Structure 1
Amino acid sequence: MRQLRPLRHMFTALLVAAVLFGAGAQATAPHYRIVGYASRWNPVQDKDIGKIDTLIFAFAQLKDGRVVLDHASAERLHQLTALKAPHPSLQVDISVGGWSVGGFSEAASTAAGRQAFADSAAQLVATHDADGLDVDWEYPEHHESGIHSSPQDRAHFTLLLKAIRASLDRLGAAQGRTGTKHYTLSIAAADGPFVNGIDLAAVAPTLDWFNLMTYDFVNAMTPTTGHHTGLHASALIAGDGRTTDRAVEQFLAAGVPARKLVIGAAFYGREFAGVQPAHHGLYQRYDHFQGMLPWPKLKADYIGKHGYVRYWDGAAQAPWLWNAKTRRFITYDDPQSIAAKAAFVKAHHLGGIMYWEQSLDPSDELLDAMWRGLH
């Protein structure tokens, strides 16, 4: 397994690089992707569109084995693709799937089903002036979200992605979209046990990049609180608890090139109630999951307000909130933790950072932290 350099060595390495290469390094510096999932566009955010490389529309539907958009979804997608006229460097992709969306296992189970999926997806991308497809099957060989799964999903997913790649390339060639302008293909992928249904080494050559969903590590289905999008392991984490750096190690060990790994950041927090008070609620048992909180609400009503005290986990490089009176705990990303993720991406030569979701950061404060960290 490839070992990741400790974060404490990263800043030294970056400083040495700056001294050696000086200002001329900017001409050859690698490009890091900033990828945002979006269901619609808020014109207030127009001023920061230049900081985004790819917007991924969420979501197209899977109906009778074909990738489709209803009228309302098509209108929302058009809000995104219209941004390309004033911002020609912007790429807009379409994602199909999402949590609890089924039909993937059935469609991928036969050659005819895979071809119907692939051809309909490629045609949808071309028809709506998009630039690529993102497949968000959550998850092959898993049925936690209530969808059908099969022990053959792993092999079938590889074949499905190859079929999609071929359909996108065929249609792209007919339209003159080749080379750097080719239609891209990515997948949204989780880590830990949720990735055992994907043959990572086999699909990596087919994909332009992986959107690593390195968030929701703790949720309503986990027994304790914790950092839901932590970069490293907290001193309190149990065993092989999920973290961003452990996810990256897992994918690298499977043979995925570092430049194809785009780690995830969350523009929302997760709140737990009835939390045991030890360690200010961190990695403690709780009575029930309270819900999700968007970044603006965290700032307006929670961080440093109404009894919520912010703490910083130096080992995990992640913040959390604890309300000792109400015994409520909130885990989230903020500009400091996102800056740490950006530094991690650069230190380990990864592909960039993606986030969920565009509308949850209307002031672009978190996006700006991401952009400044990577550029």
Structure 2
Amino acid sequence: MIKNIFLLLTCLAIFTGVSVAAAPDNEDKSQADKVIIGYVFSPDKPLDPATIAAEKLTHVNYAFSNLVDHKIVNGFEFDDQNYRRLNDLKKRNSSLKILSSVGGWTWSGGFSDMAATEESRQIFINSAVEFVRRHQLDGIDIDWEYPGLPGAGNKHRADDGTNFALVLKGLRAAFDSLEEELGRPLMLTIATGGFPDFLAKSDIGEWQKYLDYINIMAYDFNFPRAGGTTGHHTALYSRAEDDSGQSADAAVRNHNAAGVPLHKLVVGVAFYGRTWVNVNSQEAGLNQPGDAGEPSFGSARYNNLVASVIGKGTYQRHWDDIAKAPWLWSAQEKTFVSYDDPESIAAKVKYIQERGLGGVMFWQYTSDHNNQLLDAINNALER
């Protein structure tokens, strides 16, 4: 109905010369409009722009800038150089947006104090404006892990959710003014936990008013621990026997029920796996007792899984058609690996299209193998 009215108004505008406002932003977006947001993390060395497929991304979230004395500051030695190199990627993709992601698991300890008072919030907002100017950014992504929760043992308050809304409101107003100065739009996004406790402590229905996108970290739903149980860490749908009850679909539904429009939700996929050792052999290791520990092959980043595990030695790939997720299992090694691959990513993209979501986010770029997973996203979007 809305679309028909908009088409009618457009036709009238052609004949009358009257301008027509854009269609409501809650309309479902076409595949071409879906975002592909890649987190790029390079703490130890300068980025090589030749290794980043700028044409296959819509946004780069550079991780991470830090928070010191309520101010956004560079996180790593080569950040100035890396921001310049990321901006140079726009020569290959003029519509590419470069954002700085602030915080992350390690550097979320200062958010609660920053958000607690009007004075400290304004210090943060002013620093964000200067950070955007300095690095010629297209916006800021805030990765606070997590408001109202300890995360990595961080200070937190019961009113973090309410205070964060004030941060976002003030930052959005400051960016609106800065847009006029710079003559270009500026984005404000956040990364969110995909688990119910996060939403329970949040004020996300208020937060979303000031945000372009909300990037759901739809991974680490099951995490290796001593005496734990194996499971999918980045499932699209949850299984009845999965005690976590968590999945990308559950996270999307919970975010939406908490007041976030579907078109603002971006589903995160994992370019890395999670590994359990000392696993029971029943059901090819799925939903079995297992422990955290270092597997014989080392890192579970996707590029290392391709090089050392998938189709190698005693490891066999299995597919869960309920969760729409693969896993790797070696009875000899007693090792279980949960991960995303091109098939599971294609299933998630199909889900994103069917639900009218904003697009795909992934952590993180350098864990891919010859752009296999990034290509899976683009291919599923028919780009």
Q: TM-score range by the shorter chain?
A: 0.7 to 0.9
Which has the greater radius of gyration? 2
1:45·1:362 contact (CA, 8 Å) conserved in 2?
no
In the TM superposition, what whole-angstrom CA distance separates every residue of 1:251-300 from its partner, at most 9, and x where no partner exists? 11112111100001111111111112221111222122437511121111
2:141·2:188 contact (CA, 8 Å) conserved in 1?
yes
Alignment of 1:106-125 (within 5 A): 106-125=113-132
Long gaps (5+) in structure 2 = 1-28
- TM-score, normalisation: structure 2: 0.86
SS of the equivalent of 1:57 reads: strand
Partner of 2:61: 56
1:42·1:359 contact (CA, 8 Å) conserved in 2?
no
Deviation at 1:314, TM superposition (A): 0.3
SS of the equivalent of 2:268 reads: strand
Q: How many residues align?
A: 343
SS of the equivalent of 1:268 reads: coil
- Please say if 1:360 is aligned against 2:351: no
Picking from 163, 166, 171, the partner of 1:159 is: 166
Deviation at 1:372, TM superposition (A): 1.0
Deviation at 1:55, TM superposition (A): 0.4
Partner of 1:68: 73
2:272·2:301 contact (CA, 8 Å) conserved in 1?
yes
Partner of 2:141: 134
- Please say if 1:85 is aligned against 2:83: no
Deviation at 1:43, TM superposition (A): 3.9
Q: Percent identity?
A: 39
Partner of 1:216: 220
Alignment of 1:231-250 (within 5 A): 231-238=236-243, 241-250=245-254
Q: 1:284, 1:295 → 2: CA distance? A: 23
Partner of 2:234: 229
Q: 1:256, 1:61 → 2: CA distance? A: 27
Give 1:314's aligned amino acid: D
Cα separation, partners in 2 of 1:288 and 1:362, compared to 1, 3 Å: closer
- Please say if 1:189 is aligned against 2:192: yes
Q: 2:281, 2:31 → 1: CA distance? A: 46
Partner of 2:15: none
Q: 2:282, 2:331 → 1: CA distance? A: 10
Cα separation, partners in 2 of 1:326 and 1:86, compared to 1, 3 Å: closer
- Please say if 1:263 is aligned against 2:267: yes
Q: 2:229, 2:112 → 1: CA distance? A: 31
2:224·2:291 contact (CA, 8 Å) conserved in 1?
no
- TM-score, normalisation: structure 1: 0.87
Deviation at 1:196, TM superposition (A): 2.3
Cα separation, partners in 2 of 1:33 and 1:153, compared to 1, 3 Å: same
Partner of 1:347: 354
Long gaps (5+) in structure 1 = 1-26
Q: 1:374, 1:162 → 2: CA distance? A: 33
Cα separation, partners in 2 of 1:28 and 1:198, compared to 1, 3 Å: closer
Partner of 1:321: 328
